[in-house]
């Protein structure tokens, strides 16, 4: 098959600022036209699908107020109506138009405060984002022989799950700072505490490797945790220039409240982990009047070779049966790794790695 997608749109922005106050507003409108041509499953007269036109738009505005050179407060708000992706418009990879397809709707609000001085800078930000009518797709490998709907499936089969009409609500606080007690020392840090959850219900469709529908259900996701990114993170870092143009640096980061990348009401939480990186840099001035430079950089990531789970694409609990509806569970069989059943599918993070870069600036 083939497809044709055409785009068109307009964008505009206005700004105003003075010594104390600044504000802006921007907006955009666009149209997307989709059509699918299937040369395999249809007779000649039915190969061209219905053409689907979707209008999307976004608006955003914000303002900032400077009390003085040190204290600034700001706020932003935006709304985004994003057209659906082409593969979500046509049902089951056919020319049939999906009647449930709607624009994804994103409402974002944020407010913050920034402090600046000669040796210390910090920013505190609060946000809330509501994302409606999302389409979330995941894939897993069937662990055992079984049945989905009325169709038998075998261990090793790839099962695709598509959730339509998904609503997510993200809210949280973010803090970052830089402290420079002397001219050759930089200390930095950040912290992010979020609460990202699903809301309401979604339509879930499971498909086999040939993309045939196996089961369509209405799934209650309300209150389920959103996965694929840690909702709580913090870190500290430092840089020390012990001689002119020669410096060492290190960063320590912690990741917590990380959940499996599945849409589920009772999602699986992964173990928290810490990563430490370090590096050394040298800048050599060259050329006429020393205006150019050659930069040498050696960096080592995860220097303690931490073993950690970075992502899961399944949601198997430790009290689940290993096979079928009876028999030993993962917990009773001792098939558990850091509180996670070993029947889950996912990815470990990278171990210790290093890199060296050479850059010439002119």
* Model confidence pLDDT, tens digit, residues 294-325: 999 999 999 999 999 999 999 999 999 988 78
pTM of the model: 0.84
Position 49 scores a pLDDT of 83
Position 26 scores a pLDDT of 97
Number of domains, the chain:
1
What CA–CA distance (Å, rounded) separates 133 from 116? 40
Position 100 scores a pLDDT of 66
For 192, half-sphere exposure in the C-beta direction (CA atoms, 13 angstrom radius) is 18
Nearest to 316 by CA among 340, 335, 339, 333: 340
Query: Which two three-digit tokens encode residue 258?
Result: 């990380």
What CA–CA distance (Å, rounded) separates 286 from 7? 49
Query: Which two three-digit tokens encode residue 145?
Result: 């022989």
Q: What is the span of the domain harbouring residue 146?
A: 2-361
Q: How many CB atoms lie within 10 A of CB 345?
A: 14
What CA–CA distance (Å, rounded) separates 252 from 236? 5
HEC secondary structure over 178-217: EEEEECCEEEEEEEEEEEEEEECEEEEEEECCCCCEEEEE
Tell me which residues of the chain have a pLDDT lower than 70: 91-92, 100
What CA–CA distance (Å, rounded) separates 215 from 193? 37
Nearest to 192 by CA among 257, 117, 249: 257
**Which residues, other chains included, contact 106 with Cβ-Cβ below 8 Å and sequence gap of 6+?**
78, 79, 80, 81, 82, 129, 130, 131, 132
Domain CATH number, residue 313: 2.40.170.20
Nearest to 319 by CA among 311, 330, 310, 327: 330
């Amino acid at each position: 098959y083939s497809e044709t997608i055409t785009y068109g749109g307009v964008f505009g922005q206005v700004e105003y600022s003075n010594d104390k106050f600044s504000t802006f507003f921007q907006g955009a409108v666009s149209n997307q036209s989709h059509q699918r041509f299937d040369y395999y499953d249809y007779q000649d007269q039915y190969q061209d699908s219905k053409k689907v036109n979707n209008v999307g738009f976004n608006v955003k505005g914000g303002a900032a107020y400077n009390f003085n050179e040190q204290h600034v407060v700001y706020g932003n708000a935006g709304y985004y109506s994003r057209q659906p992706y082409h593969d979500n418009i046509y049902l089951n990879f056919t020319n049939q138009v999906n009647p449930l397809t709607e624009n994804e709707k994103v409402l974002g609000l944020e407010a913050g405060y920034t402090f600046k001085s000669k040796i210390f800078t910090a920013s505190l930000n609060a946000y809330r984002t509501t994302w409606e009518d999302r389409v979330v797709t995941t894939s897993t490998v069937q662990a055992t022989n079984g049945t989905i709907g009325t169709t038998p499936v075998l261990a090793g089969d790839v099962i695709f799950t598509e959730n339509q009409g998904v609503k997510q609500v993200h809210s949280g606080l973010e803090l970052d700072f830089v402290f420079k007690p002397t001219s050759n020392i930089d200390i930095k840090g950040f912290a992010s505490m979020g609460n990202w959850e699903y809301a309401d219900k979604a339509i879930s469709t499971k498909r086999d490797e040939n993309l045939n529908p196996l089961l369509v259900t209405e799934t209650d996701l309300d209150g389920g945790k959103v996965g694929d990114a840690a909702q709580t993170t913090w870190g500290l870092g430092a840089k020390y220039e012990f001689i002119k143009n020669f410096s060492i640096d290190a960063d320590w980061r912690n990741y917590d409240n990380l959940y499996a990348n599945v849409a589920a009401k009772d999602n699986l939480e992964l173990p928290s982990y810490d990563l430490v990186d370090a590096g050394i840099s040298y800048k050599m001035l060259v050329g006429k009047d020393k205006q150019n430079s050659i930069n040498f950089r050696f960096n080592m990531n995860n220097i303690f070779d931490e073993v950690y789970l970075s992502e899961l694409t399944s949601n198997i609990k430790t009290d689940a049966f290993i096979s079928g509806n009876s028999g030993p569970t993962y917990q009773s069989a001792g098939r558990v790794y850091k509180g996670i059943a070993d029947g889950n599918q996912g990815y470990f993070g990278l171990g210790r790695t290093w890199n060296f870069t050479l850059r010439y600036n002119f």
